[in-house]
Amino acid sequence: MSSENRKLIVVSGASTGLGAATARELARRGFHVLAGVRRDSDADAIRSTGVEPVTLDITEPEHVGALAARVADDPRALHALVNNAGIQVNAPVETLPMARWRWVFEVNLFGHVAVTQALLPALLRGRGRVVNISSIGGRVAMPTYGAYAGAKFALEAVSDALRREVAPLGVRVVVVEPGGIRTEMATRGIATANDLAADMTPEQDERYGDLVRAVNALMASGTSSGLTADAAARLVAKAVTTRRPRTRYAIGRDAALLTRLTRVLSDRTLDRVTAATLRRHHPKGVALADHG
């Protein structure tokens, strides 16, 4: 095993799904992975050769500080930080309580900034890299994705700023934009959307109820036809290990297609494409307006 492959990598949100698959894939390639989990049961499930679970809620300063101390005490260089932790909360802008808006940004943006700040000294010493797991929602905001996409758009902007700040210092910053992936996060996201929809007022349900159901159906369809977590993890590992990584990687055919569409279509045309796509998943007999 080379000295390169003995380096450390931190992966947050590694309890299940893409994070767990990424931790295992990087360990298989010879790295020592500090896998952030929130529960003891998750730690027991992921612990294996090359994968060391660490308790990490990225919104808890004590956890972030302990992680930074663990990395600082290790003689091995920190090769990469993979900011993967996240939650999916979908609801119309009007109906999502402000406390939930703030929590989505706390987990999907501010927590990543906190971990990045804490580990940047080690990354600078090792000339490592930051890999931020964004989403195709960081490029295109579908209806009901206001909070989730808003945080991902912001993560993309922070990534651009950070890349331009630390590139002269030898640290690379990469954004990964997955589309549909067959993970528990998508299933939980649909359940959360249904719970939030149940709390809408009758007037709000009349305005948005069918839209929420259509978006959920589209999400379920995209997830079932998406990449497996293991296949997506291999692409994340490429962003982590390739010598000259691109600034952005789209994962999945849907992500690649939407990325291309955003480059060539006007906002109004993209609105019509979005409405037409949702119409195929809408309750029978109900139409969505194009607002064109």
Active-site residue set: 148
End-to-end CA distance of the chain: 58
CA dihedral 81, 71, 64, 112 (to 10 degrees): -10
Containing 151, the helix (H) or strand (E) segment is: helix 146-166
**C-alpha–C-alpha distance, residues 32 and 166, integer Å:** 24
Task: Extract the tokens encoding 215.
Answer: 């978006």
CB-CB neighbours of 134 under 10 Å: 27
- Which residues sit opposite 197 in a β-bridge? none
Q: Is 289 helix (H, G, I), strand (E, B) or coil?
A: coil
